[in-house]
Structure 1
Amino acid sequence: MMDKIASSISRRGFLGAFAATAVIAAPTYSNAAGFLRGGGDIRRLKMYSGRTGESIDTIYWIEGDYIPEAMTEMNRFFRDWRNGQTLQIDTRTIDIAAATQNLLDSSQPYTLISGYRSPQTNAMLRSNSSGVARNSLHLQGQAADLRMQGRSVSQMARAAASCNAGGVGRYSGSNFIHIDCGAVRSWGS
């Protein structure tokens, strides 16, 4: 009986279980990818867009490789909803979002407020608000504005900042956080 049990446990399964234990025991990693290691060699992201009514729940990375079809789906999901323009979203931004979602330990998807912004959309937003950067990382597909039901802006921002992998902005008045794969920094309240 023990031989059957022992033979049914693969080396990969054993190493995955060991790695998952190591992730739980380790207090921090130097970047978002560190938080995603040991998760069974997959990365997954769940999101909803209130702007388009679309949802995405996809595994986008398996055993060291980004899945091209899933990344195409992500690029479309993160599009500028005002004009339908798309851009290749930086995988580092997606990894930061996924790592933060894992740390929040919630079954709720993110709500995507803003992903890619075309130059026209960014200019329009700048004309209506002083809080929109002229050279926003949204223009390069390197940023996302997110909220999550059941998690506060403070909880989300702490989780994102603990990844130590990019910028984290708190927008408590509008109930969302900004994450990006630029320099490590934080702002807002």
Structure 2
Amino acid sequence: MTMSNSNGMSRRALLGVFAATAVSAAPTFSNAAGFLRGAGDVRRLAMYAGRTGESINTIYWIEGEYIPEALAEINYFMRDARVDQQKAIDTRTLDIAAAAHTLLDSSEPYMLLSGYRSPQTNAMLRARSGGVAKNSLHLRGQAADLRLNSRSVNQIYKAAKACKAGGVGKYSRSNFVHMDCGNVRSWGS
């Protein structure tokens, strides 16, 4: 849904203009509740999905409030495209991904390998790989598997781990980092 003001400018365009002029301070990561404190007035998520060819670059939080329309777009983008099912993605996971991206100081969008996973997809992936959890947080929309071509898995892993706000898994052989909003923990090689 696109909303327009009396000048004919959409809310998305207005937010884009605001984001282009906003100056954000560097985030601090003292604890799970405050890992984006000091990040400024906007939070942005930029990703593309190789499986679908889709991309997203949206401001999903502004001046202390999540933007429902942006979250709906993110939920659709991070859907299980194998079975075309979506689930609400936990905003804490989005915040961890956005904060790690800020720490990495990269303008490149993340490549999304996996966001929400349906039970069918999770079972199929478990049958193919020993590294897929039976009760994966992907099933609840609380995890994302991400990659950046311009940064190493180790760099992404360290940035996400610095957030101290959830689970971070390093999958060097598969070239991605898992980020979730579960208990603070880390694993991988």
* TM-score normalised by structure 2 residue count: 0.84
Query: 1:127: which partner in 2?
Result: 127
CA offsets 1:92-114 (integer angstroms, 9 cap, x no match): 00000000000000010000000
The count of corresponding residues between Structure 1 and Structure 2 is 168
Match of 1:83, as an amino acid? V
- Tell which structure's C-alpha radius of gyration is larger: 1
CA offsets 1:53-101 (integer angstroms, 9 cap, x no match): 0110000001111000000000000000111100000000000000000
Q: Are the equivalent residues in 1 in contact too, given 2:35–2:165 (CA < 8 A)?
A: no
The alignment status of 1:29 with 2:14, answered yes or no, reads no
Deviation (angstroms), 1:30: 1.2
Query: 1:154: which partner in 2?
Result: 154
Distance 1:68 1:146 in 2: 23
Query: 1:53: which partner in 2?
Result: 53
The within-5 A match list for 1:6-155 is 20=25, 23=26, 28-31=29-32, 34-155=34-155
Distance 1:35 1:150 in 2: 24
Distance 2:42 2:113 in 1: 25
Deviation (angstroms), 1:34: 3.4
Deviation (angstroms), 1:130: 1.0
Q: Unaligned regions of 5+ residues in structure 2, if any? A: 1-21
Deviation (angstroms), 1:38: 3.1
Distance 1:173 1:38 in 2: 35
Aligned-residue identity in percent: 68
- 3-state SS, counterpart of residue 45 of structure 1: strand
Greater helix proportion: 1
Distance 1:167 1:39 in 2: 21
Distance 2:133 2:38 in 1: 36
Q: Unaligned regions of 5+ residues in structure 1, if any? A: 1-15
Q: Where do 4+ consecutive residues of structure 1 move more than 4 Å?
A: none
Query: 2:164: which partner in 1?
Result: 164
- State the Cα RMSD in Å: 1.6
CA offsets 1:12-46 (integer angstroms, 9 cap, x no match): xxxx97x82xx47x6x4213x63433333111011
Match of 1:30, as an amino acid? N
Distance 2:97 2:105 in 1: 13
- 3-state SS, counterpart of residue 173 of structure 2: helix
- 3-state SS, counterpart of residue 161 of structure 2: helix
